Structure 1
């Protein structure tokens, strides 16, 4: 939670700095702070204890940190903010980093899909879930993966921030559709208790499966809506003007 709070504070500092230079939309800051607050809430000790004691609480936690919060964080356009708020040399360095091979690979829809949906499959169809309930280290690593992979997937699909490899709208829609299929299948298998390696009461599995199914549908629908709005011809979201020194040459 301290890390989440530090990231939120750093964002606000950068937003204030960007506002004093060229302006920065308040709604972007509000979206990012709201996303960070959701992550902090879901990972707070009371919520984490609820998730540990009741698998439906785990499903709610997963939904918040891997799907809902990442969309809000992406709406905050953190990369664009950094390019505007950082000093000249640092902004150039970030622009160069965005064009490195690792970032290019990570920013492809297929990789983002494998990290997010693939992680979901590993969590429930292997012993990873059981390990996460027994080992604090594994528990922490699973949460970190859920947050980061959820953010990466939303960042790649929505496409508001500058990216070295922006896939076409069709490719992103297909990727999102694949994620929906995987998420729906996992949710229904959890509900039915089939093939999953989750040793929890049937009632909790059914409640978790229903929450992940319907809650996931809403989150993915919002993700698709934001992506399609951002993909409109001539559309430029507020805050997209980047210093020339940070643009790709």
Structure 2
């Protein structure tokens, strides 16, 4: 909460958010982008908004006192937002519209060994699981509720790992991976997510009060996002949708 007349520091997050939207809009309007689907622009806007809501008032403030709001923040920043951002194809757009030199640098970056490692389904599953465990089963939970900077750092981690995981499941990284591996990663993460929600129902963390509503938010909304991701994965396998062109072939 802020005193009257104080400048809310979290408002500074509007600057990179607006810059990202402006850059994406400019790219989508560029002749180099071709006929860029309008739905991708909508997806990008929705993804940025989903993440931004978790660091701005009132949701950020509610998350410090209400576990349900904290659980909703987790789903928005770590699951729904990343799914929308990945489906907006930002890397493909950048590779199409950047000048030759920066486009070549970006292409080398996304094809680098580090990028291959970070977009491997196994790696992303571990990163997501680690973040999930830390957020709900370690002192990080209390630190998030007591410190806004910690809340921001956790949000950044959730968003970054969520984007990597979504990209890995939808096979849009620099290396191809088989359906079984990607489906296994999704299934494992869904099981961990549901298990965390059930655990919170049975064993509420000390100092958080009632966690029942938050655990249900975590379970239901998380399952909804994971179901959408599973349907997209199934659509790829059946050849009914070409969702994300591979970076390696861009």
Range of TM-score over shorter length: 0.7 to 0.9
Q: Shift of the alpha carbon at 1:5?
A: 2.5
Conserved 8 A contact 1:66-1:150: yes
CA 1:231–1:9: 2 relative to 1, 3 Å: farther
| 3-state SS of 1:53 partner | coil
Correspondence for 1:210: 216
1:183 counterpart = 2:193:
yes
From 83, 96, 117, the counterpart of 2:95:
83
From 199, 209, 212, the counterpart of 1:201:
209
The runs of 5 or more residues in structure 1 that have no matched partner are none
Aligned-residue CA RMSD (Å): 2.1
Correspondence for 2:27: 14
Q: What are the within-5 Å matches in structure 2 for residues 39-78 of structure 1? A: 39-78=51-90
Q: What are the within-5 Å matches in structure 2 for residues 45-194 of structure 1? A: 45-159=57-171, 161=172, 163-193=173-203
TM score, norm. by length of structure 1: 0.88
From 229, 242, 245, the counterpart of 1:223:
229
| 3-state SS of 2:238 partner | coil
CA 1:31–1:124: 2 relative to 1, 3 Å: same
TM score, norm. by length of structure 2: 0.87
| 3-state SS of 2:125 partner | helix
| 3-state SS of 1:115 partner | helix
Aligned equivalents of 1:221 and 1:34: distance in 2? 18
Q: Shift of the alpha carbon at 1:68?
A: 1.0
The runs of 5 or more residues in structure 2 that have no matched partner are 1-12
Aligned equivalents of 2:246 and 2:57: distance in 1? 40
Correspondence for 2:39: 27
Q: Shift of the alpha carbon at 1:228?
A: 1.9
Residue deviations 1:116-171, cap 9 Å, x none?
A: 12111012211111122223332221111111111111111123x4x221211111
CA 1:40–1:136: 2 relative to 1, 3 Å: closer
Conserved 8 A contact 1:129-1:198: no
Aligned equivalents of 1:99 and 1:40: distance in 2? 29
| 3-state SS of 1:189 partner | helix
